[in-house]
Amino acid sequence: MNFERLRILLIAAFMAVSLVPLAALGYKVISQGENLIKEKASSYLEGLSTRNADVINGFMTERADDLKTLSNIICIFGFNSTMLKTHFEEMKEQYSPYLGFFVLDKSGECVFSTTGVSIDPAKLQAIDEPTHSGMDTHVKEIFMFTIGQDQIPALLICTSILDGSKENCAHLCALVDFRLVDSLLRKSNIEITGEVYLVDKTGKFLSASRFGAKALKDNISMNFIAGKKQGIYETIDYREERVLQAYQKVDGFPWYVIADQDMAEILNRIKALGREAIVYGMMTAMVVFGLAFFISTLIVNILKAKYQYEKELEFQVIQKEKLASLGLLTSGIAHELNTPLANALLYTQIAKEELHEAGIENSIIQQRLSTVVDEIRQGSKIIKNLLDFSRHTQNDARTTDVNKTLIKLMRIAGPHCSSNKIKVEKELENNMPNIKADASTLQAILTNLVANASEAMPNGGILRLKTRYVPVLKKIKIEIADTGPGIPKDELNKIFNPFFTTKKQGEGTGLGLFISHEMARKLGGDIKVISSTVNDSINSGTVFTVELPTE
């Protein structure tokens, strides 16, 4: 039988079974990753445009409320230019959004102004219907207002001034500094290529963009809106870059908040995921190949052993019969030979004593008798060894001293505890039996529990280690206690679950206690936990108890 060929076939089959589903899953993840990332980016952009639209709506509502309050004051106290000028100046200083105030008569002529500069009369003409939803406030166009050498985007809003008979007698207008809206939108820039800006229904920029578009000068296409208030789409922006763009209409105004981000930047994430998937796939392939080689070699070796066993089965049966007979024969020979050898030794020693009594000390006979005694004793040893060999038994069980393992562990962990202001208290019972476990397994369990206890006390505390033997249960109990904050009751029954952790993201895998618990169970033992928090008791802390059977 060609075992090498079988090994190659097993490796190939194992690689195919393991890697083909993984490759299919990776392809599916990569193929769907773009849509998932685009959905996430779309959701974020839509939320960003909606939030900024609400902020702008709130900003304009506050301005409308301010103007209505001022008009009510004029209605109550009458039109007094000196008083109005003083009041308007105080309000202008107190509220930074305002550049100036105007009062227009019924014919639209400006009868009062705080700006000291002229405004195009066409911009001050009153309109018949209010443009701010739910309020008698007229929002005029946004235009560039000149102050000295500076061009400032400004918004003109007006409201009616009523006389005593509640009839419209004049209009109060305010000039709002629209740079504040631009500042609000700039705070929402997204990563490297994302931005948020405001346009009107024709696509004209009402706020400057971070990449060079100027307010009231540049335009974008508004064909995508088609009467809708909000949406998300892919398009080519004013920079000729492909972007994912979300829009939201500002309630009560013919304005749209646009939030967009370059598709290249968005898709960089899936490209990074693809590179990571390739690296992960190569590493997985290497691990799978190593595992396949190991398992195939193990299977082939088992088959080889079984094949040899089948070939030699008959021979082993015969040998077993021979060994059984040899055991009986050996026991019989030992019994039969021990008796005459014992008699020969006895009589030889008697002969030596008789020669001694006869005064013959240094004769050749005495020397020869001594040699006979030594040879008889050597023969007895040979027979004893043969008998021991026929009764030989083997015991491969490994045992470990708990206290020695714990002391050895604390020699390593002790300096770390001291540097973190953790006091170690040990109470180890003497003369305990060993447990059925190898030292490496026990050390792995204890290391994980001691490490968890230390991490639970970042500001210092007391680490208590206690061992005791319970003869009735034939078990040794190892207690590891800390004075940390404790584990909440709702999490206590989850701590041995795989991947459950209370640590921050990136600081833990949630496998330590799970693996330790499984190790203890395989050794025939168990791990139990008792914990209390500051809400449950005055003294918080956690106690882990490891129970392991003795030999």
Place of tokens 């105030």: 101
Distance between CA 171 and CA 121 in Å, rounded? Answer: 14
Q: What is the pLDDT of residue 30?
A: 76
Contact 399, 342 (CB under 8 A): no
Phi and psi, residue 210, nearest 5°: -75, -15
β partners of residue 470: 475
For domain 1-178+267-311, the question of CATH label 2.40.440.10 is answered with no
Q: Pairing between strand 242-249 and 255-262? A: antiparallel
Contact 110, 103 (CB under 8 A): yes
Closest CA to 33 of 284, 266, 280, 194: 266
| CATH number assigned to the domain covering 183-266 | 3.30.450.20
Contact 224, 247 (CB under 8 A): yes
Distance between CA 534 and CA 489 in Å, rounded? Answer: 12
Closest CA to 85 of 69, 100, 71, 105: 100
Distance between CA 543 and CA 142 in Å, rounded? Answer: 70
β partners of residue 197: 258
Q: What is the pLDDT of residue 132?
A: 43
SS3 state at 506? coil
Q: What is the pLDDT of residue 321?
A: 55
Give the DSSP H/E element, type plus range, for residue 389.
helix 364-390
Distance between CA 510 and CA 512 in Å, rounded? Answer: 6
Distance between CA 293 and CA 287 in Å, rounded? Answer: 10
Strands (E), 92-223: 98-105, 110-113, 137-147, 150-162, 168-177, 195-200
Q: Which residues contact 410 (CB under 8 A, 6 or more apart)?
A: 424, 426, 450, 465
Strands (E), 67-136: 98-105, 110-113
Stretches where the chain sits below pLDDT 70 are: 1, 78-81, 91-96, 108, 115-138, 140, 163-168, 226, 311-332, 334-335, 360-363, 378, 381-397, 498-499, 504-511, 551
Contact 465, 426 (CB under 8 A): yes
β partners of residue 256: 199, 249
The token pair that represents 467 in the structure block = 């061992």
The token pair that represents 261 in the structure block = 């981000």
Contact 215, 205 (CB under 8 A): yes
Distance between CA 248 and CA 259 in Å, rounded? Answer: 9
Contact 270, 30 (CB under 8 A): yes
Distance between CA 65 and CA 370 in Å, rounded? Answer: 130
The alpha carbon of residue 525 and the mean position of all alpha carbons in its chain are separated, in whole angstroms, by: 31
How many CA atoms does the CB half-sphere of 499 hold within 13 Å? Answer: 0
Q: What is the pLDDT of residue 257?
A: 94
Q: What is the pLDDT of residue 131?
A: 45
User: What's the pTM value of the predicted model, to 2 decimals?
Assistant: 0.47
CATH topology (fold) of 402-549? Heat Shock Protein 90 (3.30.565)
Distance between CA 6 and CA 297 in Å, rounded? Answer: 10
